[in-house]
Amino acid sequence: MAVARLAASSPPIAQTAMTIAPTFRLRICLLPLAAALALCAPCAFAAPATLKASGKWTALARGHAPLPPMGWSSWNAFLTDLSEKRVLASTQAMINSGLAKAGYVYVNIDDGWWAGRDPATGRMVVNTARFPSAALAGGGNSFKPFADHIKALGLKPGIYTDVGYNSCSQQANSPEDIARVPQGTLAQKSIGLGGNVGRDIALYMGEWGFDYIKVDACGLAAFGPESRPVKERGYRAFTPLIDPVSPLRTDIAAVRNAYEEVGQALAKTRPANDFAFSVCVWGDADVRSWGQHVGNMIRTSSDIAPWWGRMLHTFDSASHRALYARPGSWNDPDMLFVGHGEFDEHHLTEARTHFSLWAIINAPLIIGQDLSRAPQALLDIYGNTDIIALNQDNAGNAGVIAYDSDDLQILVKQLADPSKKGVVIVNRSGSELTADLNAGHLKFDPAAPVALRNLWTKQVSGFTGATQFRLKAHESLTFEAQGVRELADGLYLSEMPGRIHVAQDGITAPQADPTIYRSINVWAGTQNGGERPQYTGWGGAQADTNPYDGALQINGKGYRSGIGILAGSRMEVKNDGQFTQFSAEVGVDDGTRNSRDQVVFEVYGDGRLLAKSAPLRWGQDARPLKANVGAVKVIELIARQAGAQGGAGNLVVTWGKAALTAAR
Ligand code: GLA
C-alpha cells in the first residue's frame, strides 16, 4: 500500500502526508491482471450520484478565470534551462511589443526553478544561480522579490509544482536534466507538494505572492518502486496512482482528492479568490470529467510538441468538449508552441492556424517562446487583437464543431452580440481542399445575407445561403460572421456552452475518446505500439452531436441543433431571468447503445419542477417539452433513466432544438 509504506519510511518532513488515499479499488487492482480485471470491473467507478435538482448554479466558484487566462510560460521556450534573466527578457519583450497591453498578463515559471527543500526546515528553496534575486541580502531565500518585480510591471507571476513528491523533470533521463534537478537527501529532493500541500501553497501563493499555479502530476505517475528515477537516482518510491493506458488501474478518486486538497489550500491561502489553478494531469485519471469541478484550467492531453500532428492531437483532446468549458474553468490543450519547429516564422500558415484554433475553443493563450528573440511576424500573430477578442469574448462560449472530418473542420463560436459568430475553417490535411460554408453551419437564416470579416487579412466579404473557399494545406480562415439568426428571438443551448454546467453527465464507466488525432507521442517516440485512444471522457455531453459523436436523431428525425447526453444526467443552465421560454423536442437518440430502457426528461426552474415528459424509449417519436422560465435564475435539465431492463447506463438521449427564447 502506497500510503502505508510512505508513512513508515518517511522522514519527518513527510509525516503530514497529503491525503492521497488509495482506495480499496487500487488495492485489488494491484492483484495479478486476471484477478484484478475480475474484481475491479464491478467496483471500479463510483455509482452515479442520485439525480436531484440543486436549485442553484453549482459550477466551480474557486479561483479566478472569468475568461481564458493569457500570458507567457518558460516551459516551451527554455524547458529546465530557465533563468531570471531569460524570463525577464521575455517579460520585457511582452511589454515593449504591446502584448501585455493586449491582454497577456501571466508570467509563469514552469519546472526547474528549485534548489530543493531546506533540510532543516523543509521550506522550499529557490535556485539562486538561476534566480539571483531570490538570494536575500540578509542571507535568506525567497521568490518574493521576483514576484514583486513582475507585479510592479503590471503583470501577474505564476509558479509550478507537482501534486506528488517529485516533479516531471526529476523523471527525465538526459544528463542535462539530471544535472539541473535538485541534489541532496531524499527530503531535499522531494520538491513536490506531497506531504507539504498547506505549507507550500501558503509559501508560493501567500508569502511569495504568486497569482497562478500549475500543478503537474508526474509525482503520482512516474516514481514507482521499479522506476529508473527511484532505482538509479534514489527518489522516494511512490506506487503510481495513474496508469496512462488504463483508467481501471488508475485511482481516479485519489488523484482527484489530491488536486482537491490543493484547491482547498489555495482557497485558504487566498480567500479573496484571486488566483488561477491549472490542473495538469494530461487528460489522464478521467480528469476530462472531474477537472471542471476542481481547477480553472484543465489539461486535456499529454504534452504538445512543435509539429503539426501533435498540435492536432492536443487540440482534438479539447475541441470536442465545448460543454466542459465555461467562465471559471477552461479546457487546456497545452501551451502555445508558436515560434518553434513547424510553427516558427518559416511556417506562418501553421502558426496562424495553431493560434486561431486555440482562440476559438477558448483555450488559455499561454505563449511558449523566447519573446526577446521573436520575429515581428510572430509578435503580430500573438498581438492580433481580433483573434484575441475572439478568444476573450465576454460570453465565454467555447467554439462548437459545426462540420467535422479528419481533413477539414468548421468551428463556430457564438459571441456576446447575438448576431455575431466567430468562425474557423481549418484544413487539417496536407493537400489543398475546398470548403463549403453555409448559413446552416452558423445557425443563420439561409435567406438573409451574411457578412464576413477575415480576422487575419481584415477583408470584408459576404454571401447568402452558401459560399466556398479553397484552402491550402494546413491553412485556416478565421472570420467574424454577422447575420440574421435562424432562431430569431433566442439561442439554442448548443450555442451557449458558457451558460451550461454539466453537473452530471451520466457516464458510469470511463471510456477512452477515439476522436483524437493519434500523433506520435512526444516522450515515447515510436518505440511502443502507438498511442491508442487513452483519454477518458467519451460519452460526455455534446453540443449538436450525440455523446458518441453521432448526428442527433430521434426516431429518424435529425436535429442540427441540440444537446446529446446520456440518461442519468443533470445540466444547469444560467438563465438569470434573461429568457422567458425553454423549449425542446426530446427522446432517445438513434445512436443509443441501450435500446430497451426508458427515459424521463424533467425541466426545473430554481429547483421547482416545471415540465416533465412521459417515459420514452428508443423508437418513439420526439416529444415537445416547454417551460416558462421568465423569473428563473437557474434552469436544470434532468434526463432520468426509468427502469433498467437493458442494464444501467448507455441510454443516449437528445434534447433536440433545446433553446431559450423570448430574450428580454
Ligand atoms: C509535464 C507537463 C509540461 C511541463 C513539464 C515540466 O510534461 O505536461 O507542460 O510542465 O512537465 O517538466
Tell me the CATH number at 421: 2.60.40.1180
Tell whether ligand 1 has an atom less than 6 A from the beta carbon of residue 213.
no
495, part of any domain: no
Distance 168 CA to ligand 1 centre (A): 6
Residues 390 and 414 in one domain: no
Residue pLDDT, tens place only, 172-231:
888 888 899 999 999 999 999 999 999 999 999 999 999 999 999 999 999 999 999 999
Distance 302 CA to ligand 1 centre (A): 9
Residues 417 and 329 in one domain: no
Contact status, residue 601 vs residue 625, Cβ threshold 8 Å: yes
Contact status, residue 563 vs residue 653, Cβ threshold 8 Å: no
Long-range contacts for 92-101 (Cβ within 8 Å, ≥24 apart)? 92/372, 93/371, 93/372, 93/374, 94/155, 94/367, 94/371, 95/153, 95/154, 95/155, 97/371, 97/374, 97/379, 97/383, 98/383, 99/367, 99/371, 99/379, 99/382, 99/383, 100/153, 100/154, 100/155
Number of domains observed in the structure of the chain: 3
Residues 336 and 444 in one domain: no
Residues 44 and 137 in one domain: yes
Name the pLDDT band for 532 (thresholds 50, 70, 90): confident
Distance 624 CA to ligand 1 centre (A): 49
Name the pLDDT band for 282 (thresholds 50, 70, 90): very high
138, part of any domain: yes
Name the pLDDT band for 46 (thresholds 50, 70, 90): very low
535, part of any domain: no
To test the pocket of ligand 1, the residue of 74, 75, 170 to mutate (highest count of ligand atoms within 8 Å of its CB) is 75
Residue 28: which domain range? 3-400
DSSP string, 560-578: SSEEEEESSEEEEEE-TT-
CB atoms within 10 A of CB 558: 11
333, part of any domain: yes
Query: Nearest residue CA, atom 6 of ligand 1?
Result: 111
Residues 24 and 131 in one domain: yes
pLDDT of 310 > 70? The answer is yes
To test the pocket of ligand 1, the residue of 72, 74, 110 to mutate (highest count of ligand atoms within 8 Å of its CB) is 110
Percentage of residues in the chain having pLDDT higher than 70: 92
Tell whether ligand 1 has an atom less than 6 A from the beta carbon of residue 204.
no
Contact status, residue 480 vs residue 455, Cβ threshold 8 Å: yes
Tell whether ligand 1 has an atom less than 6 A from the beta carbon of residue 111.
yes
Tell whether ligand 1 has an atom less than 6 A from the beta carbon of residue 75.
yes
Separation CA 14–CA 30 (nearest Å): 24
Distance 601 CA to ligand 1 centre (A): 43
Tell whether ligand 1 has an atom less than 6 A from the beta carbon of residue 305.
no
Least confident of 31-45, 94-108, 487-501, 614-628: 31-45
Residues 283 and 348 in one domain: yes
Q: Report the CATH number at residue 552.
A: 2.60.120.1060
Prediction pTM value: 0.93
Query: Nearest residue CA, atom 8 of ligand 1?
Result: 303
Contact status, residue 351 vs residue 382, Cβ threshold 8 Å: no
- pLDDT for the residue 49: 61
Residues 459 and 557 in one domain: no
Amino acid of residue 608? R
Residues 575 and 623 in one domain: yes
Separation CA 423–CA 413 (nearest Å): 6
Tell whether ligand 1 has an atom less than 6 A from the beta carbon of residue 45.
no
Average pLDDT over the chain, rounded to an integer: 92
Residues 321 and 410 in one domain: no
502, part of any domain: no
Instruction: Assign residue 302 a region (left: φ > 0; alpha: ψ between -120 and 50; beta: otherwise).
Output: beta
Of 371, 400, 429, the position where a domain reaches its end is 400
Amino acid of residue 265? A
- pLDDT for the residue 391: 99
Separation CA 137–CA 587 (nearest Å): 70
- pLDDT for the residue 523: 80
- pLDDT for the residue 33: 31
Tell whether ligand 1 has an atom less than 6 A from the beta carbon of residue 168.
yes
Residues 452 and 390 in one domain: no
Ligand 1 atom with the smallest distance to the CA of 523 is 7
